[in-house]
Amino acid sequence: MEHILIDCSIEEQALLWDLAQEIWEGREQEWIPVTYSTALGATLIQIRNKEGVDTSAMHLYRIIMTETLHLIWKIHCQRRMQRVESNPSTWHSQDEIRNLWVNALNKRLMVDHLLVNRRKYGTRAMTKTKVLSTWRGTLLNEKLLPVDWLDHSGVLVGIVPVWKRLRGKHRAPH
């Protein structure tokens, strides 16, 4: 398992860890080097700032780490079981990997956004402040968003997915 999550030299794994580091450093946080111990203990790591424990940073770190680890595992399993391991043309492309990861983080952003609903979740609801501070520094065009962007739809994680140009008869005319 350590080899699959950390040591394997396949390009997909390196890309995913680079994306995780990029989004984390967007918050102006120092990246914690990924080891087997930090990967398995990602939900236990405490991140501190000048005031003490930074719960928003910890929440984001847990999201980034768990989603990245899950996607690495999922891609490995797909490669072994559904795609032909000896045929690289059947593997996920770099663009597909990037899009899968961005999609996973956008889903987690949406979950946090939904968990603010006090009527539905009562005392278990997340506070707006926690959601806003968790995702600070990670959003697409964040400087153009209002301070309280939770009331706006279409807010996405700041790493842009890659869209391939359509070919053939369904392509938009020039």
In this prediction, residue 36 has a pLDDT band, given cuts at 50, 70 and 90, of very high
Inform me whether the pLDDT recorded for 72 exceeds 50: yes
Could you report the per-residue pLDDT of 131-148, keeping only the tens digit for each? 999 999 999 888 888 888
Question: Which residues are 139's β-sheet partners?
Answer: 157
Average pLDDT value over all residues in the chain: 85
- How confident is the model at residue 84, as a pLDDT? 64
Q: What is the arithmetic mean of pLDDT over 93-100?
A: 90
For residue 171, is pLDDT > 60?
no
pLDDT at residue 165 in the model = 44
CA dihedral 109, 131, 41, 99 (to 10 degrees): 20
Collapse the DSSP code of 33 into the 3-class scheme (helix H, G, I; strand E, B; otherwise coil) and give the result.
Answer: coil
pLDDT at 166: 43
Cβ atoms of 113 and 131 within 8 Å: the answer is yes
- In this prediction the pTM is 0.84
Given pLDDT bands bounded at 50, 70 and 90, which one contains residue 157?
confident
Instruction: Decide if 30 contacts 54 (C-beta within 8 A).
Output: no
